[in-house]
Amino acid sequence: MNVQGRDCCITLKTPYRAIGLPYAEETIREAISLLKEEAPIEGAGNCRAIRKSRGVTGCVVTPLTIETAPLLFVLALGRSGLPVFVSGTRNLYRHSIRLSAMEMGLRFDLIQERGSLRTLYEGCSVRDFELRILRDEAIKLKLDIAGDIAPATYLYQDSLTMDDGERAFCERFKEDGVQYRINGAENKTIYGLTIAGRKQEGTQMEVWIHRILDTAGELPTSIESLEIQAHLFRDSYEWRSYGAFYLTLTRLVLMADETNVDSGDAVIGPLRYYVTGTVSAEVFTTDEGIIE
């Protein structure tokens, strides 16, 4: 999850909305290749090359907030279905999102702002993603970006990104508000969790579960369902559902125990699972439209 990039302002833009991300690390840049011509035998021996743009590459790492989580999950997993009204509320809607391959995902634009320079990356899609939940930290999502269109300078002077005050106001999901359920039963031995997904030419999902070794009861080698429920502690939202999201992964098979056996005082040991079933998410918004 460590990214050696630069801090900047990132705006995600779809056909229907534009949303600024809170504090984000990123390495978004133009992907280039060189058409090289070898030096002739005679002469000074100089090689020549022609620079060719191959679109966009890089990644964005950002914490999940109450405002950005719905759209970010749609970009990471795939398109969402029609929203369902939550009974007993005034204007709360539940959106179900399922994992799909990169070719079937939602296309979007990225506007990168570094000082006075604004760069537009059009027609981007998510190639891979990683969701990391670590103790005493905000929940972060990393999106690996791919695109075929060369970047261009963004000439419009409109303010699309959020200012510092708006960024600070957005409440972030944190690890202390997460609950885990394995095969329907709550599990309190999980210390942290990482979900890594690859979406090129199909989908492939892995889950790294960090569990406490000195606690009685080992995790099973086969998990029928893993449920991750994240809530905000603040209860001012209507029926508390607005400040929440749910992830469900089915049919997990243990691949390896990655615990460091050479460490005599190891406390946390990761288990690596492969997801052979479905991956879905549920998010809540006050908008009855599709999240796009």
DSSP 187: -
Cα–Cα distance for residue pair 252/232, rounded to 1 Å = 27
| DSSP SS3 for 76 | helix
Burial of 96 (0-12, 13-18, 19+ CB in 10 A): middle
Cα angle: 152, vertex 156, 158; to 5 degrees: 135
What tens digit of pLDDT does each residue of 6-51 get? 557 888 888 888 888 876 677 787 777 777 777 666 666 677 777 7
| DSSP SS3 for 101 | coil
What tens digit of pLDDT does each residue of 217-230 get? 678 899 999 999 99
Longest CA–CA span in the chain (Å) reads 83
| Range in 90-99, 139-148, 166-175 the model is least confident about | 166-175
| Beta-ladder partners of 12 | 19, 110
| Region 165-171 average pLDDT | 52
- To which residue do tokens 């989580």 refer? 69
Q: Would you kindly state where each structural domain of the chain is located, as residue ranges? A: 6-38+45-285
What tens digit of pLDDT does each residue of 73-108 get? 999 998 788 888 888 777 788 889 999 888 878 889
Q: Which helix (H) or strand (E) holds 222?
A: strand 222-231
- Is there a contact between 104 and 202 (Cβ–Cβ < 8 Å)? no
